[in-house]
Amino acid sequence: MFNRKNNQIDSILDDCLERILVRGESAEECLAHYRQYADELKPLLQTVVATIKALDIEPRPDFRAKARYQFHSALKEAVSKKHRRFFGWQLRWVTMASLSLVLLLSGGGVVAAASNSMPDSPLYQVKLVTEQIQLLLTSSPEDKAELHAKLVDRRVTEIINMAEEENVGLVELTTQRLDNHLSMIVSISATQVIDGGILSDWAPESPTITETVTTTIGAGGILNEVTSDSLPPTVTKSADTTVLIPDLPVPTVIYLPSEDLATQLRQYSASNIAALYAALESASEEVKPALMQAIAVLESGYSNALSAIGE
């Protein structure tokens, strides 16, 4: 009996609230609908009206204007990023498809022949295109870094060959390409994504944020470049406000084993630097400055790459 009366009052109070909040009725108008409950309702509706009045607050106009401007800027940025991503993908696929077609039409033999070509060879461009396709088809950051490490090794062989040919221009150009590969290793290795699946589970479709953090990697290894779709806006845990929030998992950092890459880099570093010094000894005076530049680029590049993976 008591529960039934309570349920009735709960519903009547809610109906009055709906009338006041949504339809804009006054407390008196609502009381007129429920005269038999007026004694009980009246003080509650007074509180409701006082609460609504007290909550008639707004952000400061200057803040509102600033916030609106910032939001619109962020919106524009998001739109342009989306377009960039879309066209970036299109470009990648179109490039890959075109290059694949060219290579198919020209026959597999050409690719095989080009693989050992040097920078002064007509087939060298095919070699570079093949490498680009390999890089485009490699999605894992770790594999990509390893591929760049192998390509550095190739460039060193080419530099030595061009130094023997006394082709200073191509030694310098190949050194630039070598530098690009080393920079890519550093760049890939220094990118980590933190996956912090910490949104309350009362959000079946949790709002998410993708967050990529660039940082120096610890000794554990390089970090996978993963797009996280599970980052929430905030960490949600509080002793006195856990009414809606369950226990949350600890944020995790995804590490990839870097042993292969580290081993490769150490081996390549030692052998390639030694090979360039050996080439320098027998090089003509004309080509020596370009070779010394190549050695400097190689030494600092390997050093940076090894640091980036915590070696």
Least separation, in Å, of the C-beta of 78 and another protein? Answer: 6
From CA 33, how far away is CA 158, in angstroms rounded?
A: 92
Q: Are strands 212-214 and 191-195 parallel, antiparallel or unpaired?
A: antiparallel
Nearer to another protein, 219 or 243 (CB): 243
Least separation, in Å, of the C-beta of 196 and another protein? Answer: 12
Please check whether residue 220 is in contact with residue 198, taking contact to mean a CB–CB distance below 8 angstroms.
no
Nearer to another protein, 207 or 289 (CB): 207
Least separation, in Å, of the C-beta of 26 and another protein? Answer: 17
Least separation, in Å, of the C-beta of 127 and another protein? Answer: 40
Residues binding another protein (CB under 8 A)? 6-7, 9-11, 13-14, 17-18, 21-22, 43-44, 46-48, 50-60, 63-64, 67-68, 70-72, 74-76, 78-79, 82, 199-200, 202-210, 229, 232-245
Three-class DSSP category at 188:
helix
User: Helices 141-164 and 124-137, interaxial angle, to 10°?
Assistant: 170
Nearer to another protein, 70 or 115 (CB): 70
Sheet containing strand 252-253, edge to edge, reads 212-214, 191-195, 252-253
Least separation, in Å, of the C-beta of 45 and another protein? Answer: 9
Long-range contacts (CB closer than 8 Å, 24 or more residues apart) made by 21-28:
21/52
Nearer to another protein, 22 or 105 (CB): 22
Nearer to another protein, 21 or 97 (CB): 21
From CA 98, how far away is CA 66, in angstroms rounded?
A: 47
Nearer to another protein, 232 or 310 (CB): 232
Burial class of residue 19 in the structure, from the number of CB atoms within 10 Å of its CB (0-12 exposed, 13-18 middle, 19+ buried)? middle
Would you give the DSSP letter of residue 229?
Answer: S
Q: Phi-psi category of 24—alpha, beta or left, where left has phi over 0 and alpha has psi -120 to 50? A: left
Least separation, in Å, of the C-beta of 74 and another protein? Answer: 6
